[in-house]
Amino acid sequence: MSSFRKALKSKQRDHKERSQLGFRKQLGLLEKKKDYKLRADDYHRKQKTLMALRKKAMDKNPDEFHFKMIHSQLKDGVHVIKPKEEEMTEEQKKVMRTQDIRYIEMKRVSEMKKVERLKSELHLLDNDEDDDEKKNKHVFFVDSKKEVEDFDLATHLNTVPELVNRTYNRPTIQTLESKSIGGAVDPRQIKKLAKQRKNQYEVLSQRIDREKKMFVISQKIQTRKDLQDKVRKIKVRKETETAPAIYKFEAKRKR
């Protein structure tokens, strides 16, 4: 039976939707099913919105209170938010900015002391020196040319070859053996010391950056505090991430 039904369908004509006939163009386009679907969906959506608004209006409490009832006023038929009164005077704002500057300066000085302490612990050398400037050298004197040829710096300094090039924290073999297990120099101990040193330098770099940022913040707050004075000024340079704005104030004689 199913094969007979399939055979009948194979001989049926394909249904083609009617086209826009010439004599119907004067009456407008014929509505297709897809056009009807869009129109119906739009209609039902609007009906649902209207029903929801009707329900909201019916369920509304006439004694309901909202803060905008006292914070707004009717002006030219439009609700406008009332302007808020100034809660602080200019003098109070200046005092607050002064306190902010003092707090930031206190934190900056604390950070600067930590930087100095880390520098002293790490024996940090200034990186701002020129390459052409003469660096410190350690000269060893021997008695003969044979000793010069057989000279071993690690043996002379009584340390391991991995630490010869260091200008800081160059422990002797006895010190390393006393800290290692079994009385032998452990390379893992050397790597651990190098890793700790690297972490300390990273912490030092972060603290230096933090101290510089705090200095910039305090300068910007001081500039905003100076701008509150009623004195004529001209902006010389705009504010950036690393520097505050620069103003030129009119010279005013103080009584």
The predicted pLDDT at position 44 comes to: 97
Residue 148 lies in a domain: yes
User: How many DSSP H helices and E strands does the chain contain?
Assistant: 8, 4
23: its two tokens: 């004599």
How many C-beta atoms surround the C-beta of residue 179 within 10 A? 13
The predicted pLDDT at position 126 comes to: 42
Residue 135 lies in a domain: no
Measured between alpha carbons, how far is 197 from 166 in angstroms, rounded to an integer?
Answer: 12
What are 167-185's pLDDT values in tens digits? Answer: 656 667 666 666 554 445 5
Residues 6+ apart with CB under 8 A from 208: 115
Measured between alpha carbons, how far is 104 from 112 in angstroms, rounded to an integer?
Answer: 12
Distances 88 to 91, 199, 219 between C-alpha atoms, Å: 8, 47, 23
> Of the candidates 34, 210, 243, 45, which has an alpha carbon nearest to the alpha carbon of residue 118?
210
Look at the pTM and tell me if it is higher than 0.85. Answer: no
As for how many domains the chain has, the answer is 1
Residue 77 lies in a domain: no
Residue 203 lies in a domain: yes
What are 100-155's pLDDT values in tens digits? Answer: 888 888 988 999 998 888 888 775 444 444 444 556 677 878 778 887 788 877 77
Q: Which domain does 106 fall in, by range?
A: 90-125+140-249
Residue 182 lies in a domain: yes
Q: What is the full per-residue pLDDT of the chain (255 aa) written as tens digits?
A: 677 777 777 777 777 766 666 545 566 677 788 889 999 999 999 999 999 999 998 888 877 777 777 888 888 888 888 877 666 677 766 777 788 888 888 988 999 998 888 888 775 444 444 444 556 677 878 778 887 788 877 777 777 676 666 665 666 766 666 655 444 556 676 677 777 777 888 888 888 988 888 888 888 888 888 888 777 888 888 888 888 888 888 887 776
Residue 116 lies in a domain: yes
> Of the candidates 231, 232, 236, 233, which has an alpha carbon nearest to the alpha carbon of residue 246?
236
Residue 70 lies in a domain: no
Residue 58 lies in a domain: no
The predicted pLDDT at position 179 comes to: 57
The predicted pLDDT at position 99 comes to: 81
Decide: residue 159, CB within 10 A, 0-12 exposed, 13-18 middle, 19+ buried.
buried
